[in-house]
Each structure stands twice: as C-alpha cells, then as structure tokens.
Structure 1
Amino acid sequence: MQTMTASAKHGLAAGSGHAPQRPGWVIDQGWQHYTAQEHAVWATLFERQSRLLPGRACDEFLRGMGDLPFRADRIPDFEQMSQVLRRRTGWEVVAVPGLVPDEVFFEHLAHRRFPAGQFIRKPHELDYLEEPDVFHDVFGHVPMLMNPVIADYIQAYGEGGLRAQRLGVLDKLARVYWYTVEFGLVQQSDGLRIYGAGIVSSYTETCFSVEDASPNRLWFDLARVMRTRYRIDDFQESYFVLPHLNELLGLANIDFAPLYARAATEAELQPGDVLETDRVLTRGTGRYHAAKRAP
C-alpha cells in the first residue's frame, strides 16, 4: 500500500513537499542516467531471486517473468515493459519519484497504470528497504500484472480505494491489498506458493513465508483480513492463503460497504492472532517473533 509518510527517505514525492509538474506525479524514468553501480545492485537482486523463486513462487509469477523483457544485468526500461503489458492486459508502468499520495496511487491503478519508483536501493540496503524501489515495484509486481485475474483485481482495488477514501475506511481496504497483492500465498496442486510482491522481491522472506515453522498460514477470509493489522517492519506473523488466484475475481466484484460496516463493530486483530473460527492451514510456532520481542 503506497502512502505519503514523513519518514520516507527517497525521491521528490517522498521528501521535498512539492509535487512534480506533470499530472499523477509521473516523471521520466531517466533510464540513461542509471549508474553502473545501480545496474549492479539490480543484477545482484535479480540473480539471487531468480535462483530462489522456482518451486516457491506461483506458476503465474514465473510465467509472467519469463514473458517480460527482463535482463539480469540491467534495470528494466519501463516503456519496454509497458509495450508487452499493454498487449497482454492493457496495463503500463509509469515512473514516479517515490511514494505518492493515496489518491494518486488509486487513480493510477484504476486506469491500469502501475506507479513504480524509479530509484534503486543502495548496496547496503539489499535485504530491507522501508520504501518500495524499482526492484520491488517492477520485479515484484509487474510479472503478476501479466495475469488477467490480477490485472482486473488491482484495477478494481484502485477504484475501491477511491471509494474507501471517501468513506473514511481506507485502513480496512489497505489490509486486503497487503495480505493479497503484497504478501499473499496461493495453494497450487504441487504445493504452497507465493504471489505477493513483498515476498517475491525479498530474499529472506521468500523462504520464511512458505517454509519456516514460525508464521501462521490461514485460509483467506475477507472479513477476517479487514480486521487484521500487519507488520511493516519485519516478516509477517500470519499469511493468508487463497485456494486459487481466481478467488480474487470475486473480491473485484463485491460490494465492500456492508463489510466496512461490520468491521467497524468488531475488535481489531493483532498480526499473530489465531481465532477458533479461522481455517488454519499451518498454525505457527511464533518462535521468530517471540525471539525478537525477548529482552
């Protein structure tokens, strides 16, 4: 979920207080200005994730990655990516200078434009970055935009985000995005797989999410997810699992208003909570986060 924060570190949108002159905070990617070191950071990230993801990422992600003009040795050109995306699902990638205001983010998604940060992390930030960069946004998100189900779902999310803003319930909808688009898992016939961009772009969380005994893995329930807080500073304590990506088509077409009203009357849930009513795929040990909380 993109949002403007006072603590953001990168880019015009993140820190200067002045919107770019072009509508939608869109800027030129400036591909020709990337340095050799910046391309080298991309190469390091790309190569290690490419080795790690087979057997862990879902088939749709791997297929999308193979069909896009990725190169291991250089940051992608957004226009080249967009040419392929437009033909497949009508999406395009637009460069933005960092995190953008919510209404700008939703407006882009509602019109099948994916706003991607055009900066890349520093060499000392390979494993953790507070603000999404070009590797997270393009490597993590764009392959799934090649899938028609995800393409429709994220457009619907953009439209729903504009409505949720007007209703004052954006925090509830943001949780749905977080636990699907960013940190979602799906059950394939050959095992549990990742489709969330926040996981597939993370070297350490890729293995943790599907293999570690610590996190809970719960079958996805929309009303439950809307009540559940999430971690922005560490691995997730719970992951929500779809039985099939086509389940997202249902989410793209339902009326969220009754769910917002219901969520307003129910208690908020902590990221690691497991309820008696949950359908549990894996009940986690909680060991990882308990160790982090220990004095």
Structure 2
Amino acid sequence: MNSATGSDDPRDYLLDQGYENYTETDHATWNTLARRQRDILKGRIADQFLDGLDRLGIGEEGIPDFRAMNQRLRAAIGWEVVAVPGLIPDLAFFRLLADRKFPAGFWIRKPEQIDYIEEPDIFHDVFGHVPLIMQPIYADYLEAYGKAGLVAAEHGALKRLARLYWYTVEFGLAQTPQGLRIVGAGIASSPGETVFSLESPSSNRIGFDLARVMRTLYRIDDYQETYFVLDGVEAWPSLDLDRLIPLWKELEAQEDIQPGEIQSEDRVLTNGDGSYHRDKAKSAA
C-alpha cells in the first residue's frame, strides 16, 4: 500500500510512461533483473504467475511498453497499468484499484542498485505485480480491495487494510498440489526473499486467517518473520463489506500481534526458529 500525502484524486498523479526516454542502460538493467528473477522463481512461484508473464510479453526484451501491455490486459481482464511518479496517497491508490487500474512507477533502479532499492520501481511494480492480474479471481480481489479501502478510510481501519495487502498481495504464499508457492509481488521481485520465504527455517508459515492477518504487524526493513499461506492460488479472501465493517469494530478491542509471534489458534505450517532476525539483531548490537 501507499503512504504518500497529497491530493486524493488519482488523476493528479497519472503520467505518460515516457517509454522513448528509457536508455540502453535502463533496458539492460531490466533484462538483468528479469533473467535472474525468472530463473530463481522456477519451482517456487505459482504457475499462474509465469503464465501471466508469458501472456503479457513481460520478459527479457527490455522494459515493457505500457501501451502494448495494456492492450493485452484490457482484452483479457479489463484492467490496465497506469504510470505514476511513485508512492501516491491511499485514497488515490484505492480509487485506481476500484476502477481496475494498477498504478506503477515508471522509473527503474540504477545498475548499482540492482539488489536493493527502498522505493518500488517499475521492475517491482510490473514484473512483480502485473502477471497475476491475468488471473480473474486475483483481478477481482484487487478491485474489491480498492473498494474496501475507500470504506476503511471512513471507519479508521486503514491499518487493517495495509496489513492485508502486505501479507497477501506483497508477501503471500499459497498451497498447491506441488507444495508451497509464492503469490506475493514483494517476494516475486526479490531474489533473496524468493528463497528465504520458502526455505529458511527462521520464519513462521501460518495458514491464512483474515482477522489474524489484520491484527499482525509487519516488517518493512527486512525479510518477513511470518508468512501467511492461502489455501490455494485462487483462495484470495472475500472482502464483503457486510463482514469487514463488523470485523474492524471487533478488532479495535484486540491487541496487535508482533510480526514473529505465534498464537495458540494459528494453523502453523512452519514454526520458525527466528534465527535470521535474532542473529541480525545480535550483530547490530
């Protein structure tokens, strides 16, 4: 989710991608990222993600041109990607999603930032997020999320929606017949977290529960201490407002849950040993 301040009208942030302004270095950076990430995602990402990459032509032929990509998106699913300058205010973000428009940064990291950037760039936004939008149930989930966000703003529940987005759209895992697979864009665009999320003994992996997720704090500065696991690649939660509004009121009386904490009622798939974050804290002390 976004956290910038400013106008809540999404039209104030829409830009032309400026495709002709990308340099050879920009395209080469994209190709390096895409090649590396596609290789490391094999056997770890949901098949639907790889199918979306192929159907949209998101590959190693340079930065995608939104005009060409949107022709395929609109024809298949009624969505489009729109260029924005970076993080935009929450309400503008929600309104775009509710209108089946996905906001994406148009700039790409520098070669010296190849392994890490603080603010999401076009590689994270397009390579990480857009392929699954070709999955109808996921596309509908994003639209419903945008509509729920607008209502959450009226009920003081934005932090609940931020946590839901974080633990599903950005850092979600899902059960498949082949085992656990990645569905979150924050993982799918990060080589380190791709491996860590599935294979590290450090983190918890817990069955998805809507109320539990909306109570849980998260880390923005490192790999996650807990990942929530959907029951399937198509098991995105229903965001029925008749259910959400009473749930938000109920959660007001409950304490937040720390990122690495396990609750007695959790469906624990992996009880992590916390070694990664504990060792990192010791080395920083």
TM interval, short-chain normalised: over 0.9
Of 162-171 and 241-250, the range deviating more from structure 2: 241-250
TM-score by length of 1: 0.92
Q: Rate the CA distance shift 1:59–1:194 in 2: closer, same or farther, 3 A.
A: same
Match of 1:36 among 20, 24, 29: 24
Aligned to 2:170: 182
The unaligned stretches of length 5 or more in structure 2 are none
Q: CA deviation at 1:38?
A: 1.1
Match of 2:253 among 253, 265, 282: 265
Aligned to 2:96: 108
Contact 1:45 1:126 in 2 (8 A): yes
Give the 5 Å matches for 1:34-73. Answer: 34-73=22-61
Contact 1:175 1:229 in 2 (8 A): yes
SS at match of 2:238: helix
| Counterparts of 1:43 and 1:3, CA distance in 2 | 29
> Runs in 1 of length 4+ with deviation above 4 angstroms?
none
Amino acid at match of 1:180: T
Q: CA deviation at 1:71?
A: 3.4
Aligned to 2:119: 131
Q: How many residues align?
A: 283
Aligned to 2:267: 279
Q: Does 1:155 align with 2:155?
A: no
Amino acid at match of 2:2: Q
Amino acid at match of 1:276: S
Contact 1:153 1:252 in 2 (8 A): no
| Counterparts of 1:76 and 1:217, CA distance in 2 | 34
Q: Does 1:212 align with 2:200?
A: yes
Aligned to 1:2: 2
Q: Rate the CA distance shift 1:22–1:115 in 2: closer, same or farther, 3 A.
A: closer
Contact 2:108 2:122 in 1 (8 A): yes
Amino acid at match of 2:32: T
Contact 1:152 1:252 in 2 (8 A): no
Q: Does 1:196 align with 2:196?
A: no
The unaligned stretches of length 5 or more in structure 1 are 6-16
TM-score by length of 2: 0.95
| Counterparts of 2:134 and 2:10, CA distance in 1 | 27
Q: CA deviation at 1:191?
A: 0.8
Amino acid at match of 1:42: W
Match of 1:141 among 129, 132, 138: 129
| Counterparts of 1:251 and 1:161, CA distance in 2 | 10
Q: Does 1:94 align with 2:82?
A: yes
| Counterparts of 1:130 and 1:254, CA distance in 2 | 36
Q: Rate the CA distance shift 1:24–1:158 in 2: closer, same or farther, 3 A.
A: farther
Amino acid at match of 1:195: V
Amino acid at match of 2:130: V
Amino acid at match of 1:39: H
Q: CA deviation at 1:22?
A: 8.4
Q: Does 1:84 align with 2:35?
A: no
Q: Does 1:245 align with 2:207?
A: no
| Counterparts of 1:245 and 1:67, CA distance in 2 | 18
Of 70-79 and 198-207, the range deviating more from structure 2: 70-79
